[in-house]
Every structure is written in structure tokens, then in C-alpha cells.
Structure 1
Amino acid sequence: MKKKNLMGLVLAGVLAFAPAASVCAEESQETLVYGSGDYTRINPAMDEHGEINILIFNGLTAHDGDNQVVPGLAESWDFDEETCTYTFHLAENVKWHDGEPFTAEDVKFTIEAIMDPENGSENAPNYEDVEEITVIDDHTVSFKLDAPNVAFLDYMTMAVLPKHLLEGEDMQTSDFFRNPVGTGPYKLESWEEGQAITLVKNEEYFKGEPNIDTVVFKIVTDDNAKALQLKSGELDLALLTPKDAATFADDEAYTCYDMKTSDYRGILFNFWNEYWQKNRDLIPAVCYGIDRDAIIDAVLLGQGMPAYGPLQRNIYNNEDVEHYDYDPEKAKAVLEEAGCELGDDGFYYRDGEKVGFVISVGAGDQVRVDIAQIAAQQLQQIGMDVTIEIPAQVDWGGQMAYLIGWGSPFDADDHTYKVFGTDKGANYSGYSNELVDQYLTEARQSDDPEVRKEAYDKFQVELANDPAYAFICYIDANYVADADIQGIDPDTIMGHHGVGIFWNVADWTIQ
């Protein structure tokens, strides 16, 4: 671990026959191998998240270990309240990985590409208030908004892309996203499809040269395989299931990081599907029929907490909304009040059709699979014929339901406005509620904490009255690392999919 060659065990046999000087040079390289999910592209402008993005790219702003906004590519910024204009003053010593200078034109190009509806970016709702982007000079750029957006500085953590490599390219299909060039602490060296993405340190990084020479994102799509490869030494760091992480707890060769997250799991109902257009009034029965504590104990080994809404780890959480605590009798009462009748087979029927649905779960995520299986069993016990499937690809428009995960440790606007707002970029359920739209808009347009609190309180009440999801639980992020890795911040609250651990990767060391 301390001195690992670039390809680990794969190259060991080859190097045994190499000249001694070559072996020493290779072994002097410090390499960290991370167990990663697969990537088909690295496209932070179009895709909602990706753990690797922060190693390759920078935004104008960044988040520190407390998830507060700090300078990134912008050294400072001003806000003119009268004109609702942000002006960013950019660092002047920044170069792209190909040696070209970074300028304000790159910033303008990136945000305009995200805003362009033809590009279909999931991130577009974050910038819908931008009225005009002005390049004042190479190192100064301004954004005039047509309405206040208090989360704007958070959203300027968006990775900036190089105009000179992407201008005129298709922002969804360009080869650039298989060979990305950024300004970040690491740059792409190689990409073996389905196997590994190898990054080497950017020696000219404007914030200082990273300590670790090479970071390999080894593609391991199966959660159980990550634990096995960590034990065998093939991986140095991985996000594991709680059950797998527990097996490392007493081993001094590893450090276990049980990190809090804002990452929740729940059942997304697909309102484009005819079933929920007919049976939307049965959703409260689903919410009452799930024993969240039992799922947390069985799947998460007690780590995490029951979920009733999207803002429980946010300062604007409303504790007083309907929690839909486990109440099987109340769930049955909802079904019966809606005209459902219990059949001889133990399932309810409505208008001659059995009440039930299929929960789709993404392949490879064992925690989600286990959560969905137990939830389905619990709902069967209240008379709903619920099963799960693990499709090869997610069919957002066609499926009945999905075991969803979202969450942001940042401003409350993040992962609410674009997830629950009508026709927004990350609204994969087709959910639409005029009051929800109204309250989310009111909250993003005020920097008064009291105004925002009132708006988010109302949003959460309305979302509970008309659920988009059956919220189940918030999960912890169980990272396990080789004990030689130093610098991981154990107190940072992680985001969706545990994203965030690499926020200070340039400062990590290997003992």
C-alpha cells in the first residue's frame, strides 16, 4: 500500500523481469485504488453527480469539509442586490490539463451549455434564473439573475468545462466525455472500459500539487465484490454495505469511516404510469405499511434513521409533518376507504384488479435490493401484491416504481427544486403539485431565513399530504480504507451515493 506500482498485482510479474532502475522508479509511485461504480462517460455538465468529477474538474466555488461555500476557480465574488448580479473574480494562474489557459469564456460556455434545453441537462433547473452572462475580461465574469436564487453560490460548484475542446461538440455524445480535460488536482491517464479509470496528479494544480501520485477508479459494480477485493489488497478504499463494513471493524490494517449522509432511500411512484394515475389515492397505504425501523435494523445494522421527508438533515427540516409511522391497520383502512376489498388470496382488489405494483431496483446496489425486498414483503402482509425486479436498464417512463435515492448536504434548494418541481431536470417520477412548486420557488427566491423556513415548512407539509415517494430511511456511508491512508475527513456529511469523501483528496497522504 505504501509504495504500490501503477497497476498493482497485474504488473508485478512483468516488472520482475524489468531492469532494476525501472522497478525502483515504478515502485516509488504512490497509488490509491478506489472501488468505483462504472462510468459510461464523465460529463458533470449533463449528469447530476459523479464521484470522480471533483478530482478532474473545479467549479468557480467549492464546498469545504463543513459543506460551506469557499473559493474555487473564483478567488472572490461580489453581489449587487439592486441588479441581482454576481461578479466572480477568477484565479489567474490556472491551466487546463492540456496546458491551455483557463478563462472567463470557459465559464460562460459551460453554464450556457447546461441552460440550453437542447442539451437536456439534469442540472438546468439550478440556473434557470440566469438572465445574462457577461465576460468582462479574461478573469472576470458576471451573472445577472432575473429572480433571486439563494443557492446560486452552491450551484457554482459546477465543474467548468473547456470551451476550446467542446465548442461545436454534442454535449451528450462528444468523445470529450471519454477523454475529459479539466483544471482539477488529477488528470486522466487511461480508461479501460469496464475495468479502471486511472488518474495521475496534476503537478501544476493551481491550489498545490497533490500528495498521492495516482488514483485508480477500479470498476467494481457488485457491492459484495468490493469487500472481497478490499481484503485481498486489490482495493485501498471502498464504500461498503453495513454488513460488509462490519467485518473490518476489528482489523488494525483498515480504518472504518461510518459517515453521516443526507442520502435517503424511498419508493418513487411513476406518475407517468397509468397505474398511479388510477390509484394515486392508495399511496398513503404504502407509506403506512412500511416498517422503517425493521428495515434499518435488518439491512443497515441500526445505522441511519427512519425517513419521512427530503430535508431531515437540513436546517429547514419540519419535524411536525406526517411521518407515516408504521401502522398496518391504518394502511388497510386507507385501502378499504378507497373501495378496495380483501380477496380470498389475502390481497386487496379494486374494480376487479389486484392492488399491487413492481418496485424496480438498480443492479449492483445490494443495500437497495435488500431494502426493496423487505419493503415488498411488508406490503404483501397488508394485502398489496408488491414484488421487485432488477432491470438491466432503468425505464423511468415505463416502470411502476423505483427504489430511489437522493440527498444533498448543501442548501435546501438542492435536490428539492429540481427533484419535486414540475418538469424539472431530476424529476424522474412525473410528480406535479402546484403548491409544491409555489413553496419551492418562494424558498429559493429569499435570503431571509424566516421566509425560507416558512416556505420549506409548507413544502414539506404539502409533500406529506400528496406524497411523491414513500420515504424509508436515511443511510450512513460506510467507507473502509487501508489504514495507511491519511487525511480523510470523517466528519463531513456525505451527499447522494456517499459522494463527497474526495473533497480534500489533494491533501491526502499514504504513510
Structure 2
Amino acid sequence: MTARSIRGAVATVLATVLSISAAACSNPGDPDAGSGSGAGSADSAVVGIAYEPDSLSPLLGYGKDGNSKIFDGLLALDGEMTLRPALATALPEVSADGLTYTYRLRKGVTFSDGKPFGAKDVVFTYRTILDEKTNNASRTELDAVKSVEAVGEGSVVFTLKYPYAPFAQRTVLPIAPEHVAGGQDVNTGAFTTHPIGTGPYLLTKWSKGEKLSFRANPDYWGGAPKIKKFTMAIIKDDDVRATRLRSGDLDGAILPPNLAKGFKGDDGRRTYAATTYDYRTVTLPTHNKVAGDTAVRRALDVAVDRQAMVDSILNGEGKPAYGPVPTDSEWFTKGTERTHDLAAAKKILDTAGWKPGKDGIRAKDGVRAAFPLWYLTGDKLRQEHALAYASDAKKAGIDITAEAGTWEVIEPRMKQDAVLAGGGSPADPDFDQYTLLKSSLAGDGFNNMAWYDNKAVDTALEAGRRSGDKAARRAAYDTVQRELVKNPGYTFLTHIDHLYVVDDRFGPLTTQVEPHDHGLASGPWWNVEKWTPEGAEK
């Protein structure tokens, strides 16, 4: 997961009024976005995204899964999600016991302020993230790191506590400059909003709630981008984002399926579908007397009609979800699919003593089977999932009330109230499941939002994380998925394909297999620094 393990995006989302104000009052192609014109200009691109980061510091979690436009990691992921060198000259040299990773660093790389990049910056970045004083909720992702040491200016050696199989994938994490960030408060310093990196773009302005504006780094070690100006317009409301795309205010945008289909067949635009690990799930808080009851959880798990959600809400652009692992992943445990069976749901509740009242809603020991379900304001997909879930639940005798709110409203309620949440990471099972389910992370920001507590799952998560043997790891994650059938602390609903509509003057583009955190670092602009649009100098 990200710094906020299951959440609406890379970071906290502002209230709807800010997004609508941004849409009504701010043109992302204005001079604040950098030099030159905005949408429609040959050497610029303006795209609409749904969310905004809390911080632009990799020390606090920004860009940790790669594709930051401002920074580079030691490694990067290509279009096939294969690791390739970035600030390192090659993939790491790994010792036979899997405990030592040695990276040789690229020479001649400079930060955007002209200062040289070196081993000390890598050491500084990882040590700072591992420091408990740093407010990075993703610190557990680097739990395997025992030490990181520079060997001269040209090499860095990581020593691990245990053979953590996916460690190399963790080193797509962006590198921060020690000479800048090292002299500031890591949590509140200017670097969090005025970053300096080695990446293909430089931040020119961050108008919070409105846009992030970038210009090409002419001295980028990978070659100066042809897109000289790149703007991310932050538009939380799906309908507003579609309207601005239609009006020509945006060159591209991420859209939910029901809105993206309105652009199919449009001259001058292309729709791109990215397969993902992105799921929608309902948290069932352990501390809620109804949602925390195992029988209620199991009943909801079979009462929900996942395929109907895929068909009606996603227009077929996705698939049913039975856990964080998609059914077409090599890590999915066959046999853990849950068939929609309302009769079985009612039987589970009857057996557990949840009896229907005169209004059809069940009760047990004086407790009515009812609880609220919060979803993010302006997010049509979450709203539709929440309403469909509540409708299915009511047929089983459980009264769920869907409520809309911002994260500022929702977060304080998460211990007791259910949330229509999202998550998913394509890299490795550990990346998503540990922060989603580990009991020790309950209440840690957006990690383990359901306060799920299952000793068998805790043990399996540690086994999967600490083993270097794939067969042993597979057995561990099989255990996790089977335990989620017995006691589902979440009701997983769908895995969603991401849809993007982009002006076709940029030519045929590509997408990667995407995580939950999309739009900001993913989408067809995952490699915008490589684009050569029509009219731009070849």
C-alpha cells in the first residue's frame, strides 16, 4: 500500500467545494502552469486527475511506487512492469543468501539545482524513512532493511535482516537530496512542497486544490522531454472532470466507465484501458457490534452480487473481487471465490441468532443489524458501489445507510463505521496485504482500516514477508486468502480497470498494470517524458 494503505488515492482529498471552485475559476493552462500555452499546445499537456498528494517529499511517501515526474529511484518499472536501471547502472548484485544487495550508481547525474547526485543521497533517503521520527506510514515496507551503507560515491550496499524476496521492487522509491532535505524538518520543511529531484520534470507551482504545474528538466540525464510543460489539474468530481475534457480545457483525464463511454468514437480522442490491482472494498470494523460480528461478515460476503456490480457499475470494465489479489493473478488462491447466494446469507444469520424483525431488519441480543457506510464525496464509483452493497445487504436483513463525506469527516469514524475504500498493488502480495491486514497496524492512519485481528493471518503475513522461497510464500498467502473466507474483515467487491481519455495528437500511448493509486503517477502519462506529440520538434 501507500503511505495510506487503503485510501481514495495517493493522499488526502480536499472537499468537493475546492474541486468545483478549481473547475469553475482556474484554468490549468494559465501562466501559473509555466511558460507557454496550456491544453492544445504542441509542447504541453494538461491532464485531469482526481486526487492530490499530501506532500511531494519521497521521505514522506510521495512516489514510493515509482513514476514520480520530479524524482528517480535506483530502479524503475517499464511498460511491462519489469524492473530496469534508473539511478543505478544495473539491477542489484544479490548475495547467495539473499541478504545483501549492491547497487552501482550512475555517474554525472545532477539534481535540478545543479548539485551532483551520489551515494550519500541514497543512504540519507532510506535512513530518514526508517527513522521513527519521520511521518511515513509506509515505513513497514522497508522492515527488512538492517542497514544501508555507501561504498565510496559510486555504490550503495543494503543489508537485510531476512531474505525479503521483493526487495529490489522497493528500490523504485525516489531519492531525495541530502544537501536540501537534510537541513530541514523532515515532516514540515519547505522540501515537502518545494521538492528538488533528479527527475524529468521540475515543479513550477503547486496550487493546492487546483493543480500541479511542471516544466521539463533540460538537463535530465535521460534526455530532455519533448513535452515542455505538464500540468495535472486536480478535479475531484468525476462529472466536472468529464465536462472540462469535453470543453477542451484538458488534453486527457481519468474517468469512470459510465463517463468514459461517452467519449468512445470521438474524433481526436482515444480511450485507454489499464488493467489493475485496484479494488473496491467495504471495511467491516472489528469494534462495530454488527460489522465486527463474524456471522454478519460471512453473510455479507455471499449476499453481495459482485458480478452485477461489474456489469452495471463498471460496464464490464473490471471483475469480481474476493480479496486483494485479482482472480487472474498467479498469487490468487483458487477455490476462494464466493458465489452470490442470498439464501446462504440468510441461513448464516439465522444460525447465529440474527433474527428478522417486523420491518425485515434483523436483531440479536437487542442490537439491530444496522450500521453506516461512508464513501468519498464526488466519487461516483464509490457511491454506486456503496448503494449497491446496501441494497444487497438489505435483502439479507441488514440495514446499511450510505453516507458521503470527505476524508476529514470519514477518518475519525473509521474505527466504528464502515468505509467504501480502495487499495491494491501489482508488485508483490506483501505490498498490499501486510498493511491491509496486519493487526499491529490497526489504527495507524489508513493502514488496516477495519482493525482486522486474526492471529493466523498475522503469522502467515510474517511468513510470506520473511521467506525467500516462492513455494513457502505461496503457501503463506494461500493461508491469508482462506482465512478471509472464514472471517472476512472486509467485503471485497470489484477489481476496476482504469479508463483514460486522451487527445490523439500525442499518438498511440501505453499504460502499465496499475495500482490503486492512479492518475497521479499512472495512466497513459506514466512516461510523458517520452512523448513526441504532433507539431513538436522531433
Aligned partners of 1:209, 1:66: CA distance in 2, in Å?
Answer: 23
Partner of 1:176: 191
1:352 aligns with 2:374: no
1:202 aligns with 2:223: no
Partner of 1:17: none
Q: CA deviation at 1:119?
A: 2.1
Aligned partners of 1:23, 1:98: CA distance in 2, in Å?
Answer: 22
Contact preservation (8 Å) 1:190, 1:198? yes
Deviation string, structure 1 residues 194-240 (Cα, Å, up to 9, x no partner): 22211001111111111110110112111111111111111111110
Runs (4 or more) in structure 1 with deviation over 4 Å come to: 6-12, 22-29, 48-53, 272-277
Deviation string, structure 1 residues 254-276 (Cα, Å, up to 9, x no partner): 00012211111111122244654
Partner of 1:508: 531
Trace 1:334-373 onto structure 2 (pairs within 5 A). 334-373=348-387
Partner of 1:395: 411
Q: Which amino acid aligns with 1:416?
A: Q
Secondary structure of the residue aligned to 1:367 is helix
Aligned partners of 2:75, 2:489: CA distance in 1, in Å?
Answer: 32
Aligned partners of 1:248, 1:510: CA distance in 2, in Å?
Answer: 21
Partner of 1:189: 204
Trace 1:247-262 onto structure 2 (pairs within 5 A). 247-262=262-277
Aligned partners of 1:97, 1:182: CA distance in 2, in Å?
Answer: 6
Aligned partners of 1:205, 1:238: CA distance in 2, in Å?
Answer: 26
1:493 aligns with 2:513: yes
1:454 aligns with 2:475: yes
Deviation string, structure 1 residues 8-39 (Cα, Å, up to 9, x no partner): 76569xxxxxxxxx989999761100102234
Q: Which amino acid aligns with 1:422?
A: S
Aligned partners of 2:105, 2:164: CA distance in 1, in Å?
Answer: 21
Aligned partners of 2:36, 2:290: CA distance in 1, in Å?
Answer: 63
- Structure 1 pair 358/24, CA: closer, same or farther in 2 (3 Å)? closer
Answer with 65-74 or 481-490: which moved more. 481-490
Q: Please report the RMSD computed on the Cα atoms of aligned residues, expressed in angstroms.
A: 2.5
Q: Which amino acid aligns with 1:476?
A: D
Secondary structure of the residue aligned to 1:450 is helix
Q: CA deviation at 1:439?
A: 1.8
Q: Which amino acid aligns with 2:436?
A: V
Secondary structure of the residue aligned to 2:458 is helix
Trace 1:268-417 onto structure 2 (pairs within 5 A). 268-273=283-288, 276-277=291-292, 279-312=293-326, 313-321=328-336, 323-392=337-406, 393=408, 394-395=410-411, 397-417=414-434
Q: CA deviation at 1:328?
A: 1.1
Answer with 330-339 or 391-400: which moved more. 391-400
Contact preservation (8 Å) 1:271, 1:429? yes
Higher relative contact order at CA 8 Å, sep ≥6: structure 1 or structure 2? 2
Contact preservation (8 Å) 1:44, 1:53? no
- Structure 1 pair 25/495, CA: closer, same or farther in 2 (3 Å)? closer
Contact preservation (8 Å) 2:66, 2:173? no
Q: CA deviation at 1:249?
A: 0.6
1:148 aligns with 2:170: no
Q: Which amino acid aligns with 1:333?
A: K
- Structure 1 pair 102/49, CA: closer, same or farther in 2 (3 Å)? closer
Trace 1:88-237 onto structure 2 (pairs within 5 A). 88-237=103-252
Aligned partners of 1:287, 1:23: CA distance in 2, in Å?
Answer: 53
Q: Which amino acid aligns with 2:121?
A: D
Contact preservation (8 Å) 1:132, 1:145? yes
Q: Identify the match of residue 438 of structure 2 among 411, 414, 421.
A: 421
Deviation string, structure 1 residues 282-319 (Cα, Å, up to 9, x no partner): 21111111111111122111211111121124321112
Secondary structure of the residue aligned to 1:243 is helix
Answer with 456-465 or 282-291: which moved more. 456-465
How many equivalent pairs are there?
494
Aligned partners of 2:528, 2:254: CA distance in 1, in Å?
Answer: 16
Secondary structure of the residue aligned to 2:405 is coil
Q: Which amino acid aligns with 1:412?
A: P
Aligned partners of 2:449, 2:136: CA distance in 1, in Å?
Answer: 13
Work out the percentage of aligned pairs sharing the same amino acid: 31
Partner of 2:45: 32
Secondary structure of the residue aligned to 1:159 is coil
1:438 aligns with 2:459: yes
Partner of 2:489: 468
1:61 aligns with 2:70: no
Aligned partners of 2:351, 2:489: CA distance in 1, in Å?
Answer: 21
Contact preservation (8 Å) 2:145, 2:160? yes
Partner of 1:16: none
Q: CA deviation at 1:385?
A: 0.8
Aligned partners of 2:43, 2:104: CA distance in 1, in Å?
Answer: 35
Q: CA deviation at 1:181?
A: 1.3
What stretches of structure 2 of length at least 5 have no aligned partner? 1-25
Q: CA deviation at 1:468?
A: 2.3
Q: Which amino acid aligns with 1:505?
A: V
Q: CA deviation at 1:320?
A: 1.4
Aligned partners of 2:37, 2:338: CA distance in 1, in Å?
Answer: 62
Aligned partners of 1:340, 1:112: CA distance in 2, in Å?
Answer: 52
Secondary structure of the residue aligned to 2:389 is helix
Structure 1-normalised TM-score? 0.91
Aligned partners of 1:453, 1:295: CA distance in 2, in Å?
Answer: 29
Aligned partners of 2:345, 2:201: CA distance in 1, in Å?
Answer: 52
What stretches of structure 1 of length at least 5 have no aligned partner? 1-5, 13-21
Aligned partners of 1:170, 1:468: CA distance in 2, in Å?
Answer: 38
Aligned partners of 1:90, 1:474: CA distance in 2, in Å?
Answer: 38
Aligned partners of 2:227, 2:399: CA distance in 1, in Å?
Answer: 52
Q: CA deviation at 1:168?
A: 4.7
Aligned partners of 2:270, 2:80: CA distance in 1, in Å?
Answer: 21
Aligned partners of 2:76, 2:250: CA distance in 1, in Å?
Answer: 28
Secondary structure of the residue aligned to 2:430 is coil
Deviation string, structure 1 residues 68-95 (Cα, Å, up to 9, x no partner): 2111211122112347111111111211
Aligned partners of 1:288, 1:24: CA distance in 2, in Å?
Answer: 53
